[in-house]
Chains A and B, each alone.
Chain A
Amino acid sequence: MIKDITIGQYIYKDSVVHKLDPRTKILASMFFMFGIFLINNISEYIFVLILSALTIIMSQIPVMKILKGLKPILPLMMITVIMNMFFTQGTVIFSWAFINITREGIYLAGFMGIRIFFLIIFTSLLTLTTSPITLTNGIEGLLTPLKRFKVPSHEIAMMMSIALRFIPTLIDETDKIMKAQKARGADFESGNIIKRTKSLVPILIPLFISAFTRADELAMAMEARGYRGDEGRTRFKELNYKTIDKIILLIFALILIFLIIRKIIL
């Protein structure tokens, strides 16, 4: 299961989505995420579904790969859905003991579930189609205007890209540690929640220790290769907005603006 996490993985394909400017992709994803929380009827959800499907097809990323990424988030999704279902006030349609299920609750739960679903799909798609360094360049590009206010945009971006780069490595390591602990009789699957949470400690401690060692060695390797912040640095992939970037950004911006205006008016 741990290997299914798709956030942070990058799959190289020669697709339109891959070739988009990272800034376009980041901004469009942000617009999309805001927009997702503003829509509230079925036809708009169908529109979002079509939009997502189109993006996935254009990205050439296998659908299964993206859907697999949902698996680890499933418990979180379930909790949100259940919470919404039971704790929303409104017209009661089902009642048993102290549990009241309302019509509004069911709607909200459904919408919440769908929203999280699309949220994960789009964030996975962003990292699946954008390599860490390109993503960094994009974030850095978007943060550059903030440099005037002493925001360390390059450092933030570098930290994020290293974090992304190390996700698969650390996942592999977690797998290894789990196997090693299992071999010594550790039990991660049985018992109640408290017992299971406690059983994670023998995984987390070695994982943290090795992460610090890695950080230390990586810092040294980076310095050895002449890294000294963004001073005098050039870029492997220069960012440049193309016509397609402008069109895509415009489409997503217009959708968001439409949704915001409608929210204000209604």
Chain B
Amino acid sequence: MIKIIDLEHEYKKDNNESIKTLNKINIDIKKGDFVSIIGHNGSGKSTLAKHLNGLIIPQKGEVIIDDITVTDDNNIWEIRRRVGMVFQNPDNQFVGGTIEEDIAFGLENIGFPSKDMMERIIYAASKVGMGDYLKRPPHKLSGGQKQRSAIGSVLAMEPDYLVLDEPTSMLDPKGRKEVIEVLRELNKKDNMTIVLITHFMDEVVYSDRVIVMDQGNIVLQGSPKEVFHNREMLKNINLELPKAAILQKMLEEKGINFKDEVLTKEDLVEEIWQLF
């Protein structure tokens, strides 16, 4: 379980003015959870993500992974093995010349025995549906494929938690869908704990819990339904509703009454066909 207690972070700008990017953050993430963190640029969500595997050491407050506190430099490598991280730009996290080499890179770092590596690589690649592309170089892959293999590279190290910092923001709609599907499957089938940081509302509807951040604070927290119920609040911090919810709202304005608030296209279809 990941425990974040009273976490604060501030940095100094050039003119010596300090800016608080995180302000007394408290979050508990249990094993098997699918948690989404949303917020606008500058909301502190990426800074928060980097705290989860020791890329940033807490200035104030604590981050505890299972039983290890992220402060001690000696533990940092064990923390990084347990908390796998996928970043925004698919190109800038691809170290190897081919998918198999990229997956191997992480394994090499943790001192995984050479003779078992190939087996683990095949396992990890097939988990993200990239098993047939092992020898492909990154520039012969689509954005979605690159990002899926980045997830595979992390999975190979058998992390307990998977943190993704805006993994879909540079992808086309198809790539975005592929990545989200892989994440949902990992969460459901393998009970993988997933922390998804994003600013796409349509992606958070599948998570168990949504945390909304604004200017370094957690402003809303709850199930996707609960969070999106606070439409005014979301509007105030410039966050849009999922597309299906927007459509439903527009239909409501035209005088159509729905039983339930919806978040996904599927649910909206379900509501609409029961109308007449």
Contacts and interface: CB of A to CB of B under 8 A. Distances in A.
A228 B109 contact: yes
> Which of A169, A223, A234, A235: most chain B CB closer than 10 A?
A234
Interface string B167-200: 0000000000000000000000000000000000
Given A131-B98, A236-B101, A217 B137 contact: no
B164 to A, nearest CB: 12
A132 B97 contact: yes
B95 A218 contact: yes
B111 A234 contact: yes
A133 B53 CA distance: 26
Contacts of A10: 97-98, 137
A232 interface: yes
Interface string A131-145: 111000000000000
Contacts of A238: 114
A226 B157 contact: yes
B110 A12 contact: no
A233 B117 CA distance: 13
Interface in A1-39: 10, 12
Interface string B71-107: 0000001001100110111011111111011001111
B43 interface: no
A152 interface: no
Contacts, number: 103
Interface in A152-178: 161-162, 164-165, 168-169, 172
- Which size bracket describes the interface of A in this complex? 20 to 34
A178 to B, nearest CB: 17
Contacts of B81: 226
Nearest to B93: A221
> Which of B84, B87, B111, B139: most chain A CB closer than 10 A?
B139
Interface in B30-46: none
A237 B129 CA distance: 23
- Which size bracket describes the interface of B in this complex? 35 or more
A226 B104 contact: no
A139 to B, nearest CB: 14
A201 to B, nearest CB: 24
B93 A133 contact: no
B55 interface: yes
Given A10-B97, A133-B104, A224-B55, A233 B138 contact: no
B110 A168 contact: no
Interface string B236-262: 000000000000000000000000000
B101 A169 contact: no
Contacts of B105: 133, 222, 225, 227
A217 B55 contact: no
B149 to A, nearest CB: 13
A165 B113 CA distance: 24
A132 B87 CA distance: 22
B95 A162 contact: yes
A238 B88 CA distance: 32
Contacts of A234: 107-108, 111-114, 117
Contacts of B117: 234, 236
Contacts of B204: none
Contact of B96 (A132, A226, A233): A132
> Which of B53, B87, B96, B108: most chain A CB closer than 10 A?
B108
B153 interface: yes
B139 A228 contact: no
Given A227-B109, A234-B108, A236-B101, A218 B137 contact: no
A93 interface: no
Contacts of B95: 162, 165, 218, 221-222, 225
Contacts of B87: 217, 220-221, 224
Contact of A12 (B92, B111, B112, B135): B135
B125 interface: no
A27 to B, nearest CB: 21
Contacts of B106: 225-226
9 contacts: A131-B101, A133-B96, A165-B94, A168-B137, A218-B95, A221-B87, A222-B95, A224-B53, A226-B80
Interface of B: 53, 55, 77, 80-81, 84-85, 87-89, 91-98, 100-101, 104-114, 117, 135, 137-139, 153-154, 157
Interface of A: 10, 12, 131-133, 161-162, 164-165, 168-169, 172, 213-214, 217-218, 220-228, 232-238
Nearest 4 CB-CB pairs, A to B? A236-B104, A221-B93, A132-B97, A217-B92
Given A228-B109, A236-B114, 13 more contacts: A10-B97, A12-B135, A133-B105, A217-B87, A218-B95, A220-B55, A223-B80, A224-B85, A225-B85, A226-B77, A226-B106, A226-B110, A234-B117
